[in-house]
Amino acid sequence: MLWTHDFSSTRAAPHRTNSLSRSRSAAGWREPLRLYNLRLPFVVRVTARRGEHRLASARRSGILIEGASLVVPAYRVLHYEGATITDARAGHELHLHIDDDSPNAAIRVTDGAAPSLRHCDTDQALSIRLARAVFLNPAADWSSGRMAEHAGMTPRELSTQLFREGSALTAIVREQRLMRALLALLAPPPAQADLKRLAVQAGFASFARFDATASRHFRCSPAKLAKLAWCPALTWSTASASWPSDGMSNAATPEGAGSFRHLIQRGHFDDNDKGFG
């Protein structure tokens, strides 16, 4: 069983204590990492490698026990509410494995600029296809005219279709730029050292705009996130190493951290993984 309680239940999970939890304050326990409104345009396998972690979506919440994993569908919002049971010596780690290698994840890159949506799987919602394109190249010019050209439709058709899907171009661009910056921040130093440079690479006009937008969206400031990332609690990897270069820091990272060009796979995935939505 992946969770300590049923999603349909309104009762909180039983409180568990041990000698480690009682000694947290004495050991100078670090502030836990919490991140909200995480949404990637790819299927993501979430695995609790160390410790137990509280997760939530719009409809469900629960605790992912150590060693268990679940699958988050593409473009589904996930809230990470922190580790619940941890070992002060071993630490805690929640790992996100991004499945960017499936046929539906393919996006053609043209002229080193914004990825074209004409050749994407047409069965996918336009908002997902657009989100993938922005995520892969966050600093590109994502104006409505430019995006409509890449999508093979008029600006009015683009706006109308996104409205039907309950989305909007501005919101998609902002969110996926934040997600790309977030993964860069979760990489070990020195990737997150220069927050002002990261803001520009992620497509934001200024660090002030990036800082305010990220703090409001994730409920955690970039500076705080960079500080907490020194003791990794949230790590990630991808299924392929074929991400296009867009100026973001993509250097290979030590084991346990994610990189767009360096595949890292650790841990055992349960054959009985449950979906999360």
pLDDT bin (cut points 50, 70, 90) of residue 273 is very low
Question: In the predicted model, is pLDDT for residue 13 greater than 80?
Answer: no
pLDDT surpassing 60 at residue 267: no
* 158, amino acid identity: L
The predicted structure's pLDDT at residue 86: 63
| Arithmetic mean of pLDDT over the chain | 74
- For 220, the 3-state DSSP assignment is coil
Share of the chain above pLDDT 70, in %: 64
173 pLDDT above the threshold of 60 = yes
pLDDT of residue 243: 53
Helix (H, G, I), strand (E, B) or coil at 59: coil
The CB density around residue 163, as the number of other CB atoms within 10 Å, is 10
The pLDDT of 189-215, averaged and rounded, is 87
Q: What is the model's pLDDT at position 48?
A: 95
Q: For residues 87 and 66, give the distance between their C-alpha atoms in angstroms, rounded to a whole number.
A: 11
pLDDT (0 to 100) of residue 120: 47
The ranges assigned to domains in the chain are 33-101+125-238
| Alpha carbon distance 42, 102 (integer Å) | 9
Q: Taking 70 as the threshold, does the pLDDT of residue 4 lie above it?
A: no
What is the CATH topology of the domain spanning 33-101+125-238? Arc Repressor Mutant, subunit A (1.10.10)
Give the model's confidence band at 242: pLDDT under 50 very low, under 70 low, under 90 confident, else very high. low
At 40 the pLDDT is 97
Q: Parallel, antiparallel, or unpaired: how do β-strands 108-109 and 43-50 relate?
A: unpaired
Burial class (CB in 10 A: 0-12, 13-18, 19+), 222: buried
Please list the residues that pair with 96 across neighbouring strands. 46, 236
- Judged against a pLDDT cut of 50, whether residue 257 lies above it is answered with no
pTM: 0.73
Among 7-21, 108-122, 191-205, the minimum mean pLDDT is found in: 7-21
Lowest mean pLDDT among 55-69, 117-131, 151-165, 186-200: 117-131
Label residue 193 by pLDDT band (50, 70, 90).
low
Query: What's the pLDDT tens digit per position in 24-58?
Result: 433 334 578 899 999 999 999 999 999 999 999 98
Q: What is the mean pLDDT of residues 183-196?
A: 75
| Total H helices, total E strands in the chain | 8, 11
Q: Which residue has the tokens 């039983």?
A: 14
